[in-house]
Amino acid sequence: MKKQTKLIRIQTEKSGFREHSTPLYLTSSFCFEDAEMGKDLFDNTLEGNIYSRFSNPTVQEFVDKVCMLEDCEDGIATATGMAAVFAAFGGLLQSGDHIVSSKALFGSAHQIITQILPKWGITHTYLNADATEQEWESAIQPATKMIYLETPSNPGLELVDMEMIGRLAKKHELIYCVDNCFATPVIQNPVEYGANLIIHSATKFMDGQGRVLGGVICGTKEMIEPLRFFCRQTGPSMSAFNAWILTKSLETLTLRMEKHCSNALKVAEALEKIEGVNSVKYPFLKSHPQYDLAVKQMSSGGALVTFDLEGGFERVVRFTKLLTIPSLTSNLGDSRTTLTNPNTTTHAKVPADLKKELGITEGLMRLSVGLEDPDDLIEDFIQAIQNSK
C-alpha cells in the first residue's frame, strides 16, 4: 500500500463499541487484570500500557503514522518539539561529548546547545549550513557523537546537503539527527540519506491549524530505546488529547502540504516583483543560492518564505498594520498565513554577530503561507508594501 493509504488507515484497534473514528484514550493509567499482570507489565515479560507517561494508545497511533511517513522503525512522542530536541540530546549524550551542528537553527535549539548543554559538559562546533564536506569533516573531533541539523532552517531557509552529511556520519559512526519540521515527511525523508534520528515539532504542519503543541522523534530501534527510557523517567510525554488532534490532522497532511507549497511558490514569485522588497528567499525560487540542492533533496519548496523589507523595523511596523489577511504571530505551519519579524521575536535572543551571519536583518519577515487563495494574499502584500513606504 502507498503511504497515503496507510496514513488514512492506520488506526488504534477498535474497542468493544465498534467506533469508526479513532477513540481518545484520555486516561492517566491502565488497569491490571490481576496482580500478576501488574508484575509482568513492570518487568517487561508482558507488553502493554501501564501509565500514560510511558505509553498511551492514542499517542501510539500518532507515533505509528509518523514512523510510517519517515520510514523509521520506532518513535516516541513528546509534549512539544523542543522536548523532542532536548530528549535527543539528553537521552543520547553524556558529559565530555561533542556535537557538530549547523548554526542555522531554531532559536530554542540554539539556546539548548549554547546555554544548557554546556552545564553538563557537552560542547559543540557550529558550521555554516552550506559549509563544504571538508569543513564539516574537519569539525569532527574524537569526542564528537552527533551531527545535528535543520534543513531548511528557521528562519533563513538555508539548506544542508543531507547526502553529504550522511557520508560523514557513516564514516565517523556518528548519530545523525535532522530536525525535519519545515519540510515535513511529505517533502523529504532524511532516512534516505542515512539519518538515524528525525525530529519534528508536530505543533507546526502536522497539526496544521495552530491548535496543539507536540513533538516526535523517530529513528532506528537502537536510537529510540535509550530515548524511551529517558522520556519515561523524565516525563515530557504528549497528552492523549493532543495526540488525538494530531493523528486526525495527519490524514490531510499530504493534501495540505501540496496546497501550502503551491501557494508559497506563487507568493514568493510575486514578492520578488514588488518594489520595496530587497530580497526574497524560497528554496524553489531559482534565486535561492542553494536551488540545485533544494530540487535534489526536496520534492517541493515548503510553505515558508522569507523576505527582507526595505526601511528596517519602522517599515515593518507600518507594513504589518496595513495587512488585512495574515496573522501576526510567531507560530507557523497553520492553515492561516502567519507572519513574524524574527529579529524582534523568535530570534531576538540570538547574538547580533550570529544574526548577521544568518541573514536576520531588521526588515526580515518570515512568512508561513497558509491555505487562503494565493491571489488574495498577493494583493494584500502588494497594497501593504506600497502603502507603507
Ligand X SMILES: *Cc1c(COP(=O)(O)O)cnc(C)c1O
- Compute how many residues bind ligand X; rule: CB under 6 A: 14
Q: Write down the least CB distance from residue 221 to ligand X, Å.
A: 24
**8 Å CB contact between 375 and 173:** no
Q: Write down the least CB distance from residue 82 to ligand X, Å.
A: 4
**8 Å CB contact between 78 and 125:** no
CA neighbor of 264 nearest in space, from 146, 370, 156: 370
Q: Write down the least CB distance from residue 183 to ligand X, Å.
A: 10
> Which span sits near ligand X by CB under 6 A: 18-26, 36-44, 176-184, 318-326?
176-184
**Nearest-5° Cα angle at 294, 161 to 267:** 145
Among 25, 148, 176, 182, binds ligand X (CB under 6 A): 182
> Which span sits near ligand X by CB under 6 A: 89-97, 198-206, 320-328, 355-363?
198-206
**8 Å CB contact between 169 and 176:** yes
Q: Which residues are CB-neighbours of 375 under 8 A, at least 6 positions away? A: none
Residue 154 in the binding site for ligand X (CB under 6 A) = yes
Residue 101 in the binding site for ligand X (CB under 6 A) = no
Q: What's 354's DSSP letter?
A: H
CA 117 to CA 91: how far, in whole Å?
12
Coil, helix or strand at residue 157:
coil
Coil, helix or strand at residue 176:
strand
Residue 216 in the binding site for ligand X (CB under 6 A) = no
> Which span sits near ligand X by CB under 6 A: 18-26, 76-84, 121-129, 247-255?
76-84
Residue 181 in the binding site for ligand X (CB under 6 A) = yes
CA neighbor of 82 nearest in space, from 203, 197, 263, 166: 203
Q: Closest-CB residue for ligand X?
A: 81
Residue 149 in the binding site for ligand X (CB under 6 A) = no
Among 60, 144, 196, 201, binds ligand X (CB under 6 A): 201
Residue 150 in the binding site for ligand X (CB under 6 A) = yes
Q: Write down the least CB distance from residue 107 to ligand X, Å.
A: 9
> Which span sits near ligand X by CB under 6 A: 9-17, 174-182, 247-255, 291-299?
174-182
C-alpha cell at 231: 522520556
Coil, helix or strand at residue 310:
coil
C-alpha cell at 335: 492553515
Residue 203 in the binding site for ligand X (CB under 6 A) = yes
Edge-to-edge strand ranges of the sheet holding 123-127: 74-78, 215-219, 197-201, 175-179, 144-150, 98-102, 123-127
Nearer to ligand X, 186 or 270 (CB): 186
**Within positions 241 to 270, which residues make up the interface with ligand X, using CB under 6 A?**
none
**8 Å CB contact between 273 and 380:** no
> Which span sits near ligand X by CB under 6 A: 46-54, 197-205, 288-296, 362-370?
197-205
Q: Write down the least CB distance from residue 211 to ligand X, Å.
A: 12
**Within positions 3 to 32, which residues make up the interface with ligand X, using CB under 6 A?**
none
Binding mask 106-125 for ligand X (x = CB under 6 A): x-------------------
CA 185 to CA 206: how far, in whole Å?
10
Among 59, 213, 268, 271, binds ligand X (CB under 6 A): 213
**8 Å CB contact between 262 and 303:** no
Strand 364-368 and strand 338-340: pairing? antiparallel
Residue 161 in the binding site for ligand X (CB under 6 A) = no
C-alpha cell at 117: 548543554
User: In the complex, which residues of this chain contact ligand X (CB under 6 A)?
Assistant: 80-82, 106, 150, 154, 179, 181-182, 201, 203-204, 213, 215
